[in-house]
Chains A and B, each alone.
Chain A
């Protein structure tokens, strides 16, 4: 399976952005007919490395050889012409156009300025055939296809360009189980026809199934490479995190007291369905489940962002319908899963973002004093080690981890008793994660209550006292962590049990 000569070889690649060394002397190679898994946590440098490969920006140092020839692309188009195609997480198809239009987009065959539709159709058909998908009609509009099929069109586009190296960036994150199977069949098919595949993922299971070799990046360095068969899942995980995972999580004993949040037969418009749930002061309860299972809607309904169809929510002794503004007054705060589109106003300053829910604190008679806002924010910048020059710096200038700290500082500044955290550690670096776990732990010791939604099971097990699993809008019983295994939770999340 491993041919001797690598088709693509990247050596000593470095890239610096201002203060941070995003890539530090990274090596990577992939041969023809091989699937290389590129692994690493978010922020490890995977995307940066692939952007160098696809010509988005040049490396500061290092060389890339493609078929033993020097390769330094200046644009994604040039990369594609040289035979390197990227299949991104977010698909880049024009939804209103047909499959054949999309496949030839930007390189339409023409004669006398008119598009040669027959040639286009043939190109599309050939590409689809090459992938073993004879059944797809190239005249269909892309928006009538499922996400999985759209991805196949995207790959077909790369094939039509005659690409030899395909880079898949987290390709399964939005796919159904069935689509994942189809994708894997396709990748094996491509491998057998001597294509080189770089497969970026942090799902270790998946990688074990599909890849031949692996390279792990951590903090911008390539820390390990080898045959996937020679390492266990645990070893890969340790390589990715760089320390024993258990060290990340604080291990203080929590003592829960009176009930702070009680849900009684709560129904949202679609999700959640008939949720019964209690959360006490002094405990962290985790909500596990697949993307789309209704975890986010669950938190949003509690917070008053999504409407309640029926059922009751009681916060402390307060009952009745709620809006986000009344929730903040009741001492409830929420961190959104979408940091950039909902969680933060990124064009505003750090101080604006931290103080927005409770502006009455910073002045009288409807006025606010910028000085008071900045003072309050400076305190959190110091305590959470938020890397920003001043409180009046725009949030957009901060890194992901620091942005998330701002989102959490907002809840701390409002001194809420109940924190609804929806994927609070998504896409941030390990140090910031550890900081967030630590904040959560300290809050619980101060008798606050925390609802913690996450897709990452080790994190849930590391942080929570109890875990409830959500599947297709239904919330299961919250069980103590000591009585659960990751396996149980995974089964419940995929609807295999309950």
Chain B
């Protein structure tokens, strides 16, 4: 019936594999046609990649957790905590500067390294605590991390005395600055992390075990996988990656803000789920997640270029989430 049955078959296979990328390209093309020309300019695309960075980095950690069959609702708060801690540590290197002139002071890379250690460390500790509570107390991740969302947000506000923490100027400030040369450093950080996480999921034992636990925890236990230890590692690693997202957030704000990134967890979960992650575990991929983040970003940017109000963007994003998952389910059912 078809002139090239093999080619049709091949196309079907490709579509099954890269359907999501086609969807991204389609959405992009759609906006390129209907939105003002400024949307598809090089500059605009460069901006979009920078806007992806924070959500993207946080989503990499969440991908691990969701494949494991867990969830982490505390990541927005962890991002806020990280910005606050970085700001406070950097301030410590200025002597006792008054906040009015804080911007004029420059601190060196030694200070930055120490600030990053503290910021990333704090984030990792939150993840470790999540892991301990989930594995030792056997409370479901949803509840543990919901509690942690409030606790960490509270700690961040307490540390910052409920206001923004001004920080001295440092090389952190330029991480997410527009870069005419190649890519902004923050985007490079995201891509390198994506490759690392992707390798982690494919080649090391840990990766296979993460999939196994998410697919069937009992089987993993039966096969001698150290389920508790693996969970602890994954929650800690994931939260550390959220710490990196927090660093990028700080770089964009240039101050520590205890109220920033409220609801980031929802964007991140949405991205992972659009990318084929299953909330019941065992499914998900780095490529999918990154495309998911890109889809959300393209829709936001496209809508704002068209001058559509925020509420329209929200409705569209919501529809995309539900339909992406629905399409994925239908495909699964057909395959079964």
Contacts and interface: CB of A to CB of B under 8 A. Distances in A.
Contacts of A367: 203-205
Contacts of A325: 224-226
Q: Which of B204, B205, B208, B219 has most A Cβ within 10 Å? A: B219
Contacts of B218: 336, 338, 341-342
B215 A368 contact: no
B324 interface: no
B304 to A, nearest CB: 39
Interface string A49-87: 000000000000000000000000000000000000000
B222 A347 contact: no
* Contact-residue size bin, chain A (C-beta under 8 Å from the other chain): 35 or more
B282 interface: yes
A352 B204 contact: no
A324 interface: yes
Given A325-B226, A347-B283, A356 B203 contact: no
A348 B212 contact: yes
Given A356-B208, A370-B202, A396-B336, A344 B225 contact: no
B210 to A, nearest CB: 11
Contacts of B204: 366-368
Interface stretch (A186-194, A229-237, A357-365): A357-365
Contacts of B202: 370
Interface in A403-421: 410
Contacts, number: 84
A324 B221 contact: yes
B212 to A, nearest CB: 5
A305 B215 contact: no
Nearest to B280: A347
A356 B208 CA distance: 8
B129 interface: no
Interface in B278-331: 282-283
Contacts of B222: 303, 305, 324, 334, 336, 342-343
A356 B220 contact: yes
A346 interface: yes
Interface in B101-137: none
Given A323-B224, A327-B224, A342-B219, A366 B205 contact: yes
A328 B223 contact: yes
Contacts of A397: 336
A344 to B, nearest CB: 6
A344 B203 contact: no
Most buried by B among A348, A370, A396: A348
A344 B218 CA distance: 9
Nearest to B205: A359
A328 B223 CA distance: 8
B211 interface: yes
A360 B205 contact: yes
A457 interface: no
Interface in A353-385: 353, 355-357, 359-360, 363, 366-370
Interface in A379-393: none
Interface in B216-236: 216, 218-226
A112 B285 CA distance: 52
Contacts of A183: none
Interface in A308-336: 323-329, 334, 336
B35 interface: no
A351 to B, nearest CB: 10
B24 interface: no
In this complex, which of A328, A345, A346 has the most chain B Cβ atoms within 10 angstroms of its Cβ? A345
Contacts of A396: 336
A346 B215 contact: yes
B206 interface: yes
A356 B223 contact: yes
A355 B223 CA distance: 9
A355 B218 CA distance: 16
Nearest to B199: A367
Nearest to B281: A347
A11 B234 CA distance: 58
A380 to B, nearest CB: 15
Contacts of A366: 204-206
A348 B211 contact: yes
B336 A356 contact: no
A462 to B, nearest CB: 27
B203 A348 contact: no
Contact of B216 (A324, A329, A346, A363): A346
B282 A345 contact: yes
A396 B283 CA distance: 14
Nearest to A365: B204
Contacts of B219: 336, 342-345, 353, 356
Nearest to A341: B218
A163 B242 CA distance: 60
A368 B219 CA distance: 19
A336 B217 CA distance: 13
A345 B212 CA distance: 7
B50 to A, nearest CB: 33
Given A347-B215, A347-B283, A368 B221 contact: no
A113 to B, nearest CB: 31
B234 to A, nearest CB: 15
A363 to B, nearest CB: 7
Nearest to A328: B224
6 contacts: A328-B223, A334-B222, A352-B208, A355-B208, A368-B203, A368-B204
The 6 closest A-B pairs by CB, nearest first: A325-B224, A345-B215, A342-B218, A345-B216, A356-B223, A328-B224
Given A369-B203, A396-B336, 19 more contacts: A323-B224, A326-B224, A329-B224, A341-B216, A343-B222, A346-B215, A347-B216, A347-B282, A348-B216, A352-B208, A356-B208, A356-B212, A356-B223, A356-B225, A359-B208, A367-B203, A367-B204, A370-B203, A397-B336
Interface of A: 303, 305, 323-329, 334, 336, 338, 341-348, 352-353, 355-357, 359-360, 363, 366-370, 396-397, 410
